[in-house]
Amino acid sequence: MTALNATHDPKLRSWVASANEAGCDFPIQNLPFGRFRFAGSNEAFRIGVAIGDQVLDLRAAGLVDTDDMNALMEAGTKERQALRAAISAGLAEGSDKQAAWSKALLAQAEAEMTVPCRIGDYTDFYTGIHHATTIGKLFRPDQPLMPNYKWVPIGYHGRASSIGVSGQVFKRPQGQTKAPDAAEPSFGPSKRLDYELELGFFIGRGNAQGEPIAIADAEEHLFGVTLLNDWSARDLQAWEYQPLGPFLSKNFASTLSPWIVTMEALAPFRAKFERPAGDPQPLPYLDSAPNRESGALDITLEVLLQTAKMRAEGIAPVRLTRGNTTEAAYWTAAQLVAHHTVNGCNLQPGDLLGSGTLSGPKADEAGSLIELTLGGKQPITLPNGEKRTFLEDGDTLVMRGWCERDGAVRIGLGEVTGTVV
């Protein structure tokens, strides 16, 4: 686990004035990485770090000699920490870099962002126990959780090619569905389109095939965290997922925040990983003292919705839910890495691990509409009188995440928006 150092000092301020504003997602204590270019240009995407409402071009600032984000992610922990320290020192008030680095800043409002790195492989896990339990009750009232759930991190191989960055607009997926009372399936657009509130964990340094990553070393291979919306067509999923799991119901689109908040930045917001009394403890390869002490992340997550009608009338998105990851996730990021590689699987820089839907124990902490509406049986009513069971064309879904704790400066994960048409 990353120890606290000078880059986390709550008294630290930046010469970029917007980074010092209360509630800012990107103060100098954060410094998340992304890829950007000037909006409307055809130039190559470059590596940037968010600071306030600006983005710092790392190559223009003389901090890196590459535009390859994956190469930067592959660097060892000491190299990454040294780069973070150099960026922090250069952006701090009183730095002699201010004059030079001011020329390497671009307003985020003038930047076009893309996915933060090349994503070669994507694995989606199922760590949200409250989500898994609620969904299980809808289909298996007598056995909401399968017998393996509390023993093994469940996951499936997802589709990397359809992952987009915040602002993604995608067409409603089509496929086969089958009504319970129908003799045979029918084909058409999904009528039960849903969102899934997730975290995405990016791999930094990979491992050789056949060489598992021990849980004690797992965080050395984690580069950082992003927000992830793994859109789901629930009606397609219900018909196709047996016996091999999700396919067309998941691979049409997934949306990421443009920023990766590094594990170093998250150091002040770690939490104990504790299993409820009576639950089985993880097997030895999934267990370690550091993981129990501070393997969890303390991140607040919220979901907002803006319908096409709301947008036309100038009504801001309305919040659907808000919750916290400490109550939602049954497995830590380190456990996901250890389990993913225990059979010899080789992870590579830029690989993405999804947490699965992160729902809290309360109804207003749900991470999907299928939970909020109990499978579509209880529509939600929006402040303007519109009702929703699942997403309709023109709906824009907004996800936000942030960390705040006494003795530390609040940092944010940015925002993820996506619109179905």
Q: Which residues are the active-site residues?
A: 131
Q: Which structure tokens are listed for 32?
A: 């998340």
Is 35 in contact with 57 (CB distance < 8 Å)?
Answer: no
Q: Which of 29, 14, 179, 170 is nearest to 98 (CA)?
A: 14
Q: What is the DSSP letter of 253?
A: -
How would DSSP label each residue in 127-173? -BHHHHHHHHHHH-TT-SS-TTTTTS--EEE--STTEEETTEEEPPP
The total number of residues written for the chain in this structure: 421
Find the helix or strand (DSSP H, E) in which 189 lies: strand 186-189
| Integer Cα distance of 86 and 69 in angstroms | 17
Helices (H) and strands (E) in the chain, counts: 9, 26
| Rounded Cα distance, 413 and 50, in Å | 11
**Could you tell me the end-to-end alpha-carbon distance of the chain, in angstroms, rounded to an integer?**
42
Contacts of 11-14 with C-beta under 8 Å, sequence gap 24+, read 12/88, 12/92, 12/409, 13/92, 13/93, 14/51, 14/52, 14/91, 14/92, 14/93
